[in-house]
Amino acid sequence: MAPRRSIVSPGYWAYWGKAAQAEEQKTAVYHLLPYHCLDVAAVASQWWDSSAAIRASFCRVTGLSQSQTKAWVLFFIALHDLGKLDVRFQLKVPEALKVLWPDFGEDDANSERGYYHGPQGYLAFRKQISRKLGFGLDSAKDWLAAVCGHHGDLQMSGQWQTPDAEEWVIERDEEARLTWANTLVDLFLRPAQIDYRAPLPDCPPMLAGFCSVCDWIGSNSDFFTFQPKPYEDGLEAYWAKARKIASPLIEKFGLHKQGLGITGMEGLFPKLRPRQLQTIVQKLNSAPGLTVIEAPTGSGKTEAALAYASELLSKSRADSVIFALPTQATADAMLERLEEVANRLYADGANLVLAHGKARFNHEFQRVKSAAERSDAQGKEAAQVQCAKWLGESRKRVFLGQIGVCTIDQVLISVLPVRHNFVRSFGVQKSVLIVDEVHAYDAYMYGLLTKVLENQSRAGGSAILLSATLPAAHKVKLIEAWAKNVGPVIDEQTTYPLVTQVCGEDINYLEIEDKTQLPKPREVHIELVATEDCLPDEDLINRIIDAASKGALVGMVCNLVADAQRLYQTIAARVEERGVEIPVDIFHARYIYADRQLHEQRVKDHYGKDADRDLGRILVATQVIEQSLDLDFDWLITQICPVDLLFQRLGRLHRHERDNRASVFASASRAVVLVPTDEEDFGLHQVIYASARLLWRTRQLLRGSEKIRFPQAYRHWIEQVYSEAPWSDEPDSVVQSHEAYEQKSEASYYVARQLSSANYNPSSDTDENVACMTRDGDMNANLLLLQESPQGLQTLSGERLAELDEWQQQETMMLNTVGVPASWKKWLPEALTKDNDVAELIGVMRNGHWECREGAVLLTYDSKLGLVRREE
């Protein structure tokens, strides 16, 4: 056995923490581990000092003062790379090891390619340090897992592995780890008068995400430059230096901005006169809690939620706002509405981020993203590279800005076994979470959403849920997820509109007391039209064209993209045959991103609140217009759908009071609902909405009513359709269909709950995994439409993939991908669909459109119709 060899004391100075790739392997460029650990702790210290919301959340869980809680947080964050105090990690950069351990010989230790410093640091603390220092092992393990899992996985499973090394090497590592832990006790715990031998406080749920983001910033060598030798003035002097460096970084990186203190409806929306539920925002409890806002479509729920969120921000109950919506189209629309608000909430504007695309984000983060293209000696584990790659997927940036707009799946993934899910959780929990259209999610997604609400409640956060059409049973489930002991929850509350607020274990119901602010009674005249294919017959098509020719804006909502494409072509042909000049538009989800944006903007321009209504038009669309888009039709035709979604669609009918409505529809709101001629078989519509009973009951209520009266119908009709009590005249086929639906829904709910609570090996955090894990059943297929060119493959807009770097390729592929139903996979080549990857389809341009044949299926694409599938 070789004798112990001397190195600089304390021993932890002989270990590097981050290193750059040495040129031609001749020199070592590195940063000492103690300094890197303090760099990260310094970022945490600055963020802690900047954010009253983070302080409050952490202290709420620990039950300690701010100074003692901060001491524990900094102590454990400075231990996040404890596993790097190990020869196996140090051998990743032999050039640095040779400098720091000049007497180290090649035979003194063997490198291990499978060494991961996160879990091994956790195990080293539990095996060695906790016993020698007297830490309470059980109470420390959650804190350790939170900081040692900062590279994406909080599962600290496995056994401690003794290095294959000489005894003196093993002892040196152990001594360095113990000495470093003792040093941190002296630096952080003792000054705060903490007895670390006593049981530790509970670990704050946000610690893992907080530590991980701090590590990304603390690893940035543009600010924390390499320091290869011990600082002459000692460790405390470097700690002061690191904090000074970190001081501007939280704001520089856009992670925290000072709020302006502007609150309420008057402050955020000075041009609006508060109406309906907006008038009671100031009466809401400003303590952290759950708020459910139920009010009609178009009544200003979004503004009320933001006004209340501004109150929470001003009282430091949260740092940011995350607005989650059901679809990409609704998220795009919401982003536009929030731009002006962002500048009133935060000094110098806020980082307003769209989760799924064209992110407006701080340019410093863009620099970090580009840093990933530089080589790094530590490979995939390097924090700066992980930061850049994670942020490079633009849909995830939403969690680090001040106002984030995202699709709901980006929030739900925070409770699923995905790498860095704890960063998503951290982003959600430090924010006021607003979930719009909360009625729009299936049982599986409700299973995940209830887990999100449980976590938000545990972290001391706030959530606001919005809906015009929330069934009482769904509302009870959401409230009980937030507060297990709250009660009693009144599931037969008939008041509408209504705000339900849960703070602690108290539940309160707030109504509009000023009767002049109640929603105006509204009637919608209903015409039920039965056709074999649930599409307009020739008579109805002619009526649609006649209405538009008289100046009406007519909307037609289809449940299937194929139906919308077919109907659009039929109406456009009839308009041409009749020789009338009526614009006919189409909008659905089966476009590449750029075309979808153009269609959405055109729809808002021609059918929105401020549209020029001098000319009649016809819009054929799918469900993409039924939620969050502020559209206003004179006449609406829709295929049958469940009652709550029908009311959402009717919310786009006579949405605004105006004097210039087409005269033929000025006196009354009128809608046509298309139903199949078969009384019990709803065909593909039943496949889309899963339950024949919801469609059958909705049809029965429509059949028995010439008018729907609002707002009474929001409660009365929805509760009838969603009631578990059977109807005496329900056909056996409908009952059997619903029983199967209920069994599947219940199973899906508990599968989601189990998946969100179990310890699985985490999946990679990619858009494909997000889509797969947050949706029940087969995930949609994603088709990348390409064409051949002399220079190689290119997109429909002409970008040549071979000329793009990795980051540009990822973005370009995302922008040129079209989502299609999972059922399409059966005729796609197997090689294109394995592992749920994007299917690359190579076609040709013919007669102005893209065309690709796969067996008996012909696919065509043009910017007007989108992607069309024909079987030949």
CB 125 within 8 A of CB 79: yes
Domain end marker among 515, 542, 566: 515
Domain that holds residue 652: 522-710
Q: What is the CATH number of the domain that holds 421?
A: 3.40.50.300
Contacts of 516 (CB under 8 A, 6+ apart): none
Which pLDDT does position 4 carry in this prediction? 46
CB 277 within 8 A of CB 295: yes
- 338, 463: one domain: yes
- 680, 824: one domain: no
Which pLDDT does position 540 carry in this prediction? 98
**385 occurs within a structural domain:** no
| Phi, psi for 585 (deg, rounded to 5) | -115, 160
**862 occurs within a structural domain:** yes
Q: Are strands 522-531 and 839-846 parallel, antiparallel or unpaired?
A: unpaired
- 220, 96: one domain: yes
- 813, 696: one domain: no
- 327, 425: one domain: yes
The burial of 855, by beta-carbon neighbours within 10 Å (0-12 exposed, 13-18 middle, 19 or more buried), is given as exposed
**722 occurs within a structural domain:** no
- 49, 182: one domain: yes
Domain end marker among 689, 710, 731: 710
Kindly report the number of other CB atoms within 10 A of residue 797's CB atom: 12
DSSP per-residue string spanning 54-123 = HHHHHHHHH-S-HHHHHHHHHHHHTTTTGGGSSHHHHTTSHHHHHHHSTT--TTSB---TT--HHHHHHH
Q: Are strands 506-510 and 320-325 parallel, antiparallel or unpaired?
A: unpaired
Domain count, the chain: 4
**764 occurs within a structural domain:** no
**772 occurs within a structural domain:** no
**33 occurs within a structural domain:** yes
CB 428 within 8 A of CB 456: yes
**826 occurs within a structural domain:** yes
- Distance (Å, rounded) from C-alpha 92 to C-alpha 98? 12
- 110, 179: one domain: yes
∠ CA 221-226-231, rounded to 5°: 135
- 23, 150: one domain: yes
- 158, 296: one domain: no
- 176, 198: one domain: yes
Which pLDDT does position 20 carry in this prediction? 82
Which pLDDT does position 51 carry in this prediction? 94
- 226, 102: one domain: yes
Report pTM.
0.86
The tokens of 555 are what? 């909307």
**813 occurs within a structural domain:** yes
Closest among 276, 318, 323, 321 to 301, alpha carbons compared? 276
- 706, 571: one domain: yes
Closest among 699, 557, 569, 561 to 642, alpha carbons compared? 699
Q: What is the CA radius of gyration of the chain?
A: 30
C-alpha dist (Å) from residue 116 to 85, 148, 660, 713, 765: 12, 10, 68, 59, 19
| pLDDT lower than 70: segments of the chain | 1-9, 21-26, 112, 136-137, 150-160, 348-351, 355-398, 487-493, 628, 757-779, 807, 830-837
**189 DSSP 8-state letter:** I
Q: What is the pLDDT of residues 182-210, one digit of tens each?
A: 999 999 999 999 998 888 999 999 999 99
Kindly report the number of other CB atoms within 10 A of residue 134's CB atom: 12
CB 371 within 8 A of CB 298: no
Helix spans in 101-246 (H): 117-124, 130-133, 137-148, 167-184, 207-218, 235-246
